[in-house]
Structure 1
Amino acid sequence: MTKTILLAVSGSISAYKAADLTNQLSKFGYDVHVLMTKAATDFITPLTLQVLSKNPVHLDVMKEQDSKIINHIELAKQADLFILAPASANTIAHLAHGFADNMVTATALALPLATPKLFAPAMNTKMYDNPLTQRNIETLKEIGYREIEPRSSLLACGDIGRGALADLDTILEVVQSIL
């Protein structure tokens, strides 16, 4: 039986890596459904992820494709795994505080408690190390999310430090170990 993965993409320069992640997950035989925040669409087009996943990309919690189906609820029910990659500081904060103001956060809140949930942060080192972000990360862990920790690297902003999205091989290993 094919496993369904909800890949949530938030606004980070690392969003372009969601294309390769989507492609690899699809090649492994997973049914990948991509959810995007508005900010993510500034970094990568939904069409790219739609072509690679062979599924519609979900952008707006208020737009339903079928009036008989509440999209974010149905997606949450079908998910064998939820992964937020990249996970921006903003989306981590929204999840940690229960906001449901976009497709990613509304779907995450609708997930059954037993559904495995992963997040892979990607942001500037100072943002990642900020006590507020660290508190939000701990909150997510306390409610059952598993962090795939960022790498130390030269970041897009020119800083060197922890905050780069984990290597895709690492993310794929974690996904396969769960599924």
Structure 2
Amino acid sequence: MTPKNRKHTPALTARKDPATGLGHRLSATLVGMTPRERQAVLMAAWTVGLALLWWVALGPALNTLRQAPARQAAVDTQLTQMLRMAATAEQVRAQNSTPPPTRRGAQAAIETATAALGAEAQVSVQGDRAILTLRGVAPEALAQWLSQVRVNARLLPIEAQVQRQPNSAGWAGQITLAGPGLGPNN
């Protein structure tokens, strides 16, 4: 293209960058200032820049570092609980891998566990359920009985109506249990 044939087209004209214009105006303003004013403006710009750097980058990072020990302790507590639950689940899974006891085996396990409670407890098996009647049974003994019946007879409580006896440290009431050992197919 020759200079006389050149046309001003929008594609060929240089576009002005707003940042370039701002830079030129800022430079012109700084040149027109006294050295003391220029130094004050530069100090103010550095102060604002450092404040922004702190606000955006350094402050949040330091805050995260300060909170890290507490968060780590909380995560460790959660991990411990989850490992405990996993161990319990694995134990239950191992117990359930064996076939359920027969009806006769479940009844024998119930009677053996109930004999340890003594005269304060009586059990009766009716159909696919076992009903334990309590009269002043100690809480620890009841917890042990429930554990033995759950493991040995594979029975779980489905209903409980127990209350603390006012004159003793024991429980009175009834607990109804059911499970595969007392099912109709056994």
Q: Same fold (TM over 0.5)?
A: no
Instruction: Give the TM-score band, short-chain normalised.
Output: under 0.3
State TM-score, norm by structure 1: 0.24
- When Rg is computed on C-alpha atoms for both structures, the one with the higher figure is 2
Q: Which has the higher contact order (CA 8 A, sep 6+)?
A: 1
